[in-house]
Amino acid sequence: MTPQPVSSQGGIDADSFDAFIEQLRRYVRDRLIPAEAQVIAEDAIPEPILREMRDMGLFGLTMPAEYGGAGMNVSQYVEAIRQLSYALPAYRSITSINLGMVCSAIKNGGTDAQKAEWLPRLAAGEIASFGLTEPGSGSDSAAMQTMAVRDGDDWVLNGTKRYITNAPFAKLALVMARTSRETLPKNAHVSAFLVPMDPPGVSVGKSDRKMGQAGSHIADIMLDDVRLPADALLGGEEGRGFALAMQSLDNGRLSIAAASAGYGRRILDTAMRYATERRAFGVPIAEFQLIQAMLADSEIELYAAECMIADACRRIDAGEKVLRKAAATKVFASEACGRIADRCVQVHGGAGYLAEYEAERFYRDARIYRIYEGTTQILQLAIAKNMLREFASV
């Protein structure tokens, strides 16, 4: 997508954005959905489609225009993700780490030189990954084992990152590592590093087999005495890595919420189509009130999720801190998507358990959204802690 004029609210102007969304909506339905069977069979997005996605600018939606991106604000980016997520989750997965997390961290915390080096490459479609989770730690930064030790003008990194989306394809990993063996207040022992995937000592494990989300790949990233120049430290400052990661996770969580809402809409549409076509006792099963109740409950939850997403995005674009609201939105939307997928299987009855029908695949695909970017349970803790701190300060 060619960078467009900036609106008064930030991002591109409304007319250009509306035209892009209509183009994206058609592309999803006319090109991406028909290719889903091939993606599932080959467990990979075909290279011609990746080229098309790059040509459409889907890897650079949030990059500033001066770095070759479209310059969308968070509301626009998240709506684009919602539209893209109507199709197979792999299409969102390949772009979203660039857009919602790595780009955000570099924009918010990178030096001018880091922005100039990496943002144009990411906007052009080089794939990035985000290295926070480890074999023994995820949300628990105190348990992080990956170490970055200063050696003259260089940093030397050692450790393993686990379940890293896009690791097999990535050209860059944003890696969180300890720069202090002591666990410091406010997670100041964690710094962020821009790690190209080609230096000696960087290796990627085999892609993990997964329950669902065919075409999307996760793998371990191993760092064995990886020597990086001093300017690989994001922002050139130690101790800011975890804060930058959490800031970018707000965008990542809204992306997952949008993915849940977009895929939830696809799942509900599929359930309604089956309910109107499948007949029992001489009538379409859509005429049965208990089927209608499941469809209505799904619509109610989707509407609520869409409203939460729009509100959280509006607030972040206005400069508000949205940690609690982004977490709440992600929890609600991902849990709702799981319930909608379950109802879709139920509407299909026995057919819903067969791989011949999409309902079975939807059920498997949707399950990870309750885990991505913070499990429901860890986000419940984050929301409660934020509420209690706010209450105590009154």
What is d(CA 233, CA 243) in angstroms, rounded to the nearest whole number? 14
Phi/psi at 262 (5° precision): -65, -45
What are the tens digits of pLDDT across the range 89-107?
999 999 988 887 898 889 8
Q: pLDDT band for position 1 (50/70/90)?
A: low
The number of CA neighbours under 13 Å toward the Cβ of 110 is 20
Helix, strand, or coil here: 60? coil
Residue 287 annotated as catalytic: no
Q: Which two tokens stand for residue 98?
A: 């660039």
Q: pLDDT band for position 141 (50/70/90)?
A: low
Helix, strand, or coil here: 36? helix
15 pLDDT more than 80: yes
Where does the chain show beta strands of DSSP type E?
128-131, 147-151, 154-165, 172-178, 190-196, 202-204, 218-229, 279-280, 283-284
What domains appear along the chain, each with residue ranges and CATH number? Answer: 14-126 (1.10.540.10), 129-239 (2.40.110.10), 243-393 (1.20.140.10)
Residue 27 DSSP label: H
Phi/psi at 279 (5° precision): -115, 145
The string of DSSP letters for 74-120 reads: HHHHHHHHHHHTTS-HHHHHHHHIIIIIIHHHHHHH--HHHHHHHHH
What are the tens digits of pLDDT across the range 34-92?
999 999 999 999 999 999 999 999 999 999 999 999 999 999 999 999 999 999 999 99
3 pLDDT more than 50: no
| Amino acid letter for position 315 | R
Give the pLDDT of residue 139.
Answer: 66
71 in Cβ contact with 3 (< 8 Å): yes
Q: What is the mean pLDDT of residues 120-138?
A: 90
Give the pLDDT of residue 5.
Answer: 47
Which residue among the candidates 42, 301, 373, 390 is catalytic per the annotation? 373
